C-alpha cells in the first residue's frame, strides 16, 4: 500500500467528516445565537405590547397583584409572560440547533419539554386563581366576624 492509497483510504474520509462536523457545529452555534437574540426581542415585544394594552392594570384591578404579594410573590405580569414566551422560543431555537447536530435523543427530550409547557402554564393559572379565591374567602370571613362582632375570647 502506497502513501497515496493510504491517505485516500484513511485520512481523506476522516478529514471530510471532521470538516462536515465542524461546519455543523459552527452552523448550530450561529443558529442558536441568532435564535436567542430573536427570542429576547420577541419576549420584550410581547411584554411591551401587554404593557401598552394595560394588562398590568387589569391584573391590579382584579386584586390579583395584592393577593400574590400576600403569598410573597412579587411579579410584573407583562414581563413574566414576556419571559415565558422568550424561553419557549429559546427552547425551540435550541431544538433547531440540536437537530442540526443530529442529537436525536436530546431533541426528543426538548420536544417533551415543549409539550409539557402547557401543563406548567395551567398549573400557574390554577395557583394564581387559588390565591385570589383564598383572598376573597379571607375577606368574607373578616366581614362575617365583624358583622357578628365575634371575638376569639367569646368562644371559650
Q: How many whole angstroms separate alpha carbon 124 and alpha carbon 114?
A: 16
Angle subtended at Cα 59 by Cα 58 and Cα 65, rounded to the nearest 5 degrees: 150
Model confidence over 70-97: pLDDT tens digits? 667 777 888 888 998 999 999 999 999 9
Note the pLDDT of residue 50: 87
Q: How many whole angstroms separate alpha carbon 18 and alpha carbon 28?
A: 15
Q: How many whole angstroms separate alpha carbon 147 and alpha carbon 93?
A: 58
What is the biggest distance separating any 2 CA atoms in the chain, rounded to whole angstroms? Answer: 105
Q: What is the pTM of this model?
A: 0.72
Share of the chain above pLDDT 70, in %: 86
Q: How many whole angstroms separate alpha carbon 49 and alpha carbon 55?
A: 9
Amino acid at each position: 500500500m502506497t502513501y497515496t492509497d493510504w491517505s485516500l483510504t484513511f485520512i481523506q474520509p476522516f478529514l471530510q467528516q471532521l470538516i462536515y462536523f465542524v461546519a455543523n457545529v459552527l452552523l448550530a452555534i450561529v443558529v442558536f445565537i441568532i435564535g436567542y437574540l430573536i427570542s429576547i426581542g420577541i419576549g420584550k415585544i410581547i411584554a411591551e405590547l401587554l404593557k401598552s394594552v394595560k394588562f398590568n392594570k387589569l391584573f391590579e384591578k382584579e386584586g390579583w397583584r395584592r393577593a400574590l404579594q400576600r403569598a410573597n410573590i412579587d411579579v410584573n405580569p407583562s414581563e413574566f409572560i414576556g419571559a415565558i414566551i422568550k424561553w419557549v422560543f429559546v427552547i425551540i431555537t435550541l431544538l433547531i440547533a440540536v437537530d442540526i447536530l443530529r442529537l436525536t435523543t436530546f431533541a426528543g427530550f426538548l420536544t417533551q419539554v415543549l409539550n409539557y409547557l402547557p401543563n406548567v402554564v395551567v398549573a400557574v393559572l390554577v395557583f394564581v386563581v387559588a390565591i385570589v379565591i383564598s383572598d376573597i374567602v379571607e375577606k368574607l370571613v373578616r366581614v362575617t366576624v365583624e358583622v357578628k362582632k365575634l371575638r376569639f375570647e367569646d368562644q371559650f
